[in-house]
Every structure is written in C-alpha cells, then in structure tokens.
C-alpha cells in the first residue's frame, strides 16, 4: 500500500521472516521481547545514525531513527521518551545547556 | 488510599505514554514489526490496568461510565492536585 | 474526532505557589511558540498533506499537543491557586487578574492575547513541515528558558517532560519530511501507463477466429495479427499507383 514511497531506512528492523510466510508471525512474536538493557549503547545512535544517501541540494534531512532498546514504561514517562537515543536531557551536557 | 490510586494512575499514564510514543514511531516506520508487537502488548496491558482502575476509582472516559449517579462529573479532575 | 481521558499525560503536583513564574509559563499556553499554537498549526496543516505518513504524523502530534496544552494550563492554575489578589498584583499579574480572575486565558508572557497570526498553514507540504520543525525547536528553546527561571522541582519536572517531547516531535517531523520529499521527488517515467486490459476488441474479428480455450483468456487474445483484417490489406494511398504510372518524369 505504501509502494515505493518510503525511504529505505524506514524498512529497518523488518525481520526477514516478514517476507517468508505464515510461520513468520509466530516466530516474530516469540522473538519480540526487548531484553536489551544497554541504554548507553543505544544512546550512541544519536551520534552515528543511519547515513543519508542521495541527499539533494536545497533539501533538509533528518536521519531516520532505528529502534534500539526501550526504557521501561515508568522510566520512559519520567524521562519524556521511551527511546534512549532520543533522550537528550537539559543540563546533562554543560555545552548543550546554553544560557547566554 | 490516595497513594494507591496515584500509583495505579501513574502506571496507566506510563503505559499510555509508551503507546503514544510507539504510535508516533510507527507512523514513520510503518513496516517495523518489532515495534508493532511491543505496541500491541502495551495496549493490551494498559487496557487491563485501565479496567481495574475504572472499577475501583471511576471512569477515565465518559463512555466507560456505568454507575448511578452519573460518575463522570466526579472530582478530582486532572488539573486539581 | 477526539476522546477525552480524565487524566493528564504527565502528573503535575505543585505544592508552592509562584504567581510570577505563572506569568511567564503561560506563554506556553497562549504564546507564539506555545502548545495552543502548535496543536492548531498541526491540526490545520494535516488536511493538505500528500502522504499518509504526513497526515498521520500531523494528526497524532497535534492531538498530543492538545494534551500538553492541558498540562501547561494545570501548571499555571496550580501556581496561582489560592493566592490573594494583592500578591498577584505585586507579582505582575494585576492586569491579568482584573480581566480574568483565576481563569486561564491564552496570552503570552506579556499579556498579549493569542492570535492565529502565530501559526502558518501554507498548504505546501515542504513549507508546512519545515515550519513544524522550526516550531518544535522554538518550543524547546522556550521550555529551556522557563526551566532556567525556576528552582522548584515540582515545576521543573513537567517542564522537562514537555521539553523532551518537543525534541522527539522534531525527530518525527524530520522523518515525515523525508518521506514527503522522497514522494515529491519521484519522477514518473510514463505519462500514461499502457493498459492492455482496456484495449477495445476489434469489431471485424469473427468469434470463429478465436479458436481454442487459451485464445479468449486475457487481454492478449484480442491482439492477434493473423485474425485481424487490418488496414494493411485495404485500399491505401499507394494501391492505385501502378509502377508505370509513377514514372511521370
């Protein structure tokens, strides 16, 4: 239904089982528990996201996000996001907390 | 008593927040099956918690009001501490 | 349409009143970079978006901004609750109190009321999405300024949450922009795709010419040069010219 209109990076995280047939659903369901707790690794994606291929002049680009770990719900609510790579708190990085 | 209600509400807020975040993520990554699975799990859990809360403390949406007198108007409303 | 849930997206429990801070925080309610402007902007822009992704993104983020509007209103309400008018006047809310008492009215930090001039709906998808990116950054910057102005952890907590949401929304709009740009940059190679199924069958082909079970299946069965008595055999411009007559020089 989306055809060719979606950027290739948006296909990230599709398990190959999606294209494999009916057993894929059970396999995918079983494998979907996020057990990764390495939030620091995920945060590195902020500095090194998917490269932007085929950029044109006079266009603005924001790199696509790839799903990594997720914060547990209560921590996510407190931080303001469930994605560690998008967690950019104010005041944590002195260079970022600009106050002229 | 008050604390138990707040704790339960906080959990529902957290799960609903997770749902909203995944909703926005899935809007721009519609083929991410992993995220979809997590979204469906979260929605299911949140529904359970919400039914519990509504049974004990009153409706969270007008359409889930089901007692007499009309419970939707009861305090506290969200902006009251 | 919208369904309302009787809870805030993020809990707000402020114990200490601070009317002066409320005067500044209300800019995120009715100011140029506030939540009301954001939600109206996104919910108005979604109608003219070309891709489903952009419509969904604008729709859902616009809805979330309405929830944030409620949070900001709650912060202002709790900061001024029970404060006597004399103190409100001393802290700079005299004019506001005279017009609105304890009500929450959409104004900016200086009391200028909200206006639709704060939002832009150009109808052009790229212009709209890039404006939304700018709006998210402006909102984030405003929240950072407000966080700088207070030490009260009960107030900083929801402000931090709202600021982080703006960062995430920026990322989402950026992704939507890329998808829209990709779609708009597509170059169609065919003006009109050939559609064999719609080709009209020739009327001088007798049914007997389509012999066999396979011959009627699919559009190709109408295209069989052998069965067609085509223009090639009819009288054409050259058929009357005998080789001898052509040599008129």
Average pLDDT (C230-235) is 45
- For the segment C235-247, the average pLDDT, to the nearest whole number, is 45
Answer whether C153's CB lies under 8 Å from C13's CB. Answer: no
Residues C166/A96, Cβ–Cβ less than 8 Å: no
Determine the length of chain A: 100
pLDDT for res C93 = 96
Which of A12, A77, A84, A87 is the best mutation test for B, with the most CBs of B within 10 A?
A: A77
- pLDDT above 90 as % of chain B: 93
pLDDT band at residue A94, thresholds of 50, 70 and 90? low
B60 pLDDT higher than 90:
yes
What value does the mean pLDDT of chain C take?
85
- Token look-up 């002049």 returns A57
- Residues B34, C55, A47, A59: what is their CA dihedral angle, to the nearest 10 degrees? 140
* Spatial distance between the Cα atoms of C107 and A28, rounded to a whole number of angstroms: 50
User: Where are any strands of DSSP class E within C62-175?
Assistant: none
pLDDT of A95 over the 70 cut: no
Query: Considering only residues 34 to 93 of chain A, which have any Cβ-Cβ distance to chain C shorter than 8 Å?
Result: 56, 59-65, 77-81, 83, 86-91
B54 or A14: whose pLDDT is higher? B54
Query: Residue A56 is inside which H or E element, if any?
Result: none
Q: What percent of chain C has pLDDT over 90?
A: 73
Dist CA C241 CA C206 (whole Å): 32
The boundaries of the domain holding residue B17 are: 1-51
Give the integer Cα–Cα distance in Å for C106 and C141: 19
Return the partners of chain C (3 or more C-beta pairs < 8 Å). A, B
Structural domain boundaries, residue A29: 8-86
Residue C192 pLDDT: 64
Residue A91 is predicted with a pLDDT of 79
Q: What is the pLDDT of residue C203?
A: 66
pLDDT at C217 over 60: no
Q: How many domains does chain B have?
A: 1
Interface test with B, best of C1, C3, C4, C5 (most B CBs within 10 A): C5
Helices C125-148, C153-184: axis angle to 10 degrees equals 160
Selected residue of C151, C171, C181, C187 to mutate for chain A interface (largest A Cβ count, 10 A): C171
Is residue C113 helix, strand or coil? strand
CA–centroid distance for B4 within its chain: 16
Of C133, C173, C179, the CB nearest to A6: C179
Residue C126 near residue C180 (C-beta atoms within 8 A): yes
Residue labelled with tokens 């296909």: A11
The structural domain count of chain A equals 1
Q: Is residue B60 included in any domain, yes or no?
A: no
Query: Cα C96–C87–C74 angle (5° rounding)?
Result: 55
Handedness of CA C126, C130, C136, C142 (dihedral sign): negative
The pLDDT assigned to B2 comes to 79
Residue in the structure block whose two tokens are 């002229």: A100
Please tell me the distance from the alpha carbon of residue B34 to that of residue B23, in angstroms, as a whole number: 13
Supply the pLDDT for residue C247.
44
Judge whether A42 lies within some domain: yes
User: Does C74 or C246 have the greater pLDDT score?
Assistant: C74
Assess if residue A13 is contained within a domain: yes
Confidence label for C222 from pLDDT (cuts 50, 70 and 90): very low
Name the burial class of residue B36, with classes exposed (0-12), middle (13-18) and buried (19+) by CB atoms within 10 angstroms of its CB. Answer: middle
Say whether pLDDT at C96 is over 50: yes
Domains of chain C: 19-181 (1.20.1260.10)
Distance from CA of C122 to the nearest CA of A (A): 17
pLDDT digits (tens, 9 = 90+) for B13-46: 999 999 999 999 999 999 999 999 999 999 999 9
Report yes or no on B68 lying in a domain: no
- Give C61-66's long-range contacts (Cβ < 8 A, gap of 24+): C61/B24, C61/C169, C61/C172, C61/C173, C62/C38, C63/C2, C63/C39, C64/B20, C64/B24, C64/C9, C64/C165, C64/C169, C65/C35, C65/C38, C65/C39, C66/C2, C66/C35, C66/C39
Residue A91 domain-assigned (yes or no): no
Within-domain flag for A54: yes
pLDDT attached to residue C198: 65
- Residue B56 in this model has a pLDDT that exceeds 70: yes
The verdict on residue A97 lying in a domain is no
- Residue A6: pLDDT over 70: no
Band (pLDDT 50/70/90 cuts) for residue B75 is: confident
User: Which tens digit of pLDDT belongs to each residue from C32-65?
Assistant: 999 999 999 999 999 999 999 999 999 999 999 9
**Which secondary structure element, helix H or strand E, spans residue C161, and what is its range?**
helix C153-184
Which residues sit opposite C113 in a β-bridge? C107
Q: Is the pTM of this model over 0.80?
A: no
Is B7 part of any domain?
yes
C-alpha span between A55 and A53 (Å, rounded): 6
Q: Which residue has the higher pLDDT, A48 or C137?
A: C137
What are the structure tokens assigned to C13, written together?
Answer: 């429990």
Distance CA C77, CA C5 (A): 19
Lowest mean pLDDT among A72-86, B56-70, C233-247: C233-247
Reported as a pLDDT band with limits 50, 70 and 90, residue A40 is confident
- The pLDDT value recorded for residue C205 is 53
Q: Are the beta carbons of C171 and A89 separated by less than 8 Å?
A: no
**CB neighbours (10 Å) of residue C40?**
19
User: Would you state the structure tokens that stand for residue C89, as one six-digit string?
Assistant: 């006047």
Q: Do C182 and A64 count as a contact with CB atoms less than 8 A apart?
A: no
Return the percentage of chain C with pLDDT > 70, whole number.
75
């Amino acid at each position: 239904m989306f055809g060719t209109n979606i950027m290739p990076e948006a296909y990230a995280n599709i398990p190959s089982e999606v294209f494999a047939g009916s057993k894929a659903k059970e396999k995918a369901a079983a494998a979907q528990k996020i057990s990764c707790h390495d939030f620091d690794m995920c945060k590195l994606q902020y500095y090194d996201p998917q490269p932007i291929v085929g950029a044109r002049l006079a266009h603005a680009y924001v790199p696509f996000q790839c799903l990594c770990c997720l914060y547990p719900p209560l921590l996510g609510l407190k931080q303001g996001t469930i994605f560690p790579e998008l967690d950019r708190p104010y005041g944590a990085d002195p260079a970022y907390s600009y106050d002229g | 008593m008050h604390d138990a209600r707040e704790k339960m509400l906080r959990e529902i807020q957290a799960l609903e927040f997770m749902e909203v975040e995944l909703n926005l993520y899935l809007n721009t990554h519609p083929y991410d099956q992993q995220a979809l699975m997590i979204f469906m799990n979260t929605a299911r859990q949140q529904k359970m918690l919400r039914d519990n809360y509504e049974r004990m403390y009153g409706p969270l949406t007008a359409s889930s009001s089901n007692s007499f007198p009309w419970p939707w108007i009861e305090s506290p409303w969200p902006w009251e501490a | 349409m919208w369904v309302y849930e009787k809870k805030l997206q993020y809990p707000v429990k402020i114990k200490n009143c601070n009317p002066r801070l409320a005067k500044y925080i209300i800019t995120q309610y009715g100011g140029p970079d506030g939540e009301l402007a954001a939600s109206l902007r996104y919910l108005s822009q979604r109608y003219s978006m070309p891709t489903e992704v952009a419509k969904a993104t604008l729709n859902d983020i616009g809805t979330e901004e309405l929830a944030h509007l409620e949070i900001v209103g709650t912060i202002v309400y709790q900061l001024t609750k029970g404060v006597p008018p004399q103190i409100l006047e001393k802290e700079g809310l005299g004019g506001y109190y005279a017009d609105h008492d304890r009500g929450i009215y959409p104004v900016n930090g200086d009391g200028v009321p909200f206006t639709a001039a704060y939002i832009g709906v150009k109808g052009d998808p790229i212009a709209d999405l890039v404006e939304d990116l700018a709006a998210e950054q402006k909102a984030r910057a405003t929240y950072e300024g407000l966080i700088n102005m207070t030490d009260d952890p009960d107030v900083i907590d929801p402000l931090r949450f709202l600021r982080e949401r703006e960062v995430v929304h920026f990322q989402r709009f950026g992704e939507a922009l890329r998808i829209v740009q990709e779609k708009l940059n597509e170059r169609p190679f065919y003006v009109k795709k050939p559609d064999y199924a719609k080709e009209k069958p020739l009327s001088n082909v007798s049914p007997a010419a389509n012999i066999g079970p396979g011959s009627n299946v699919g559009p190709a069965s109408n295209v069989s040069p052998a069965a067609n008595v085509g223009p090639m055999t009819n009288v054409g411009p050259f058929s009357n010219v005998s080789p001898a007559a052509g040599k008129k020089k």
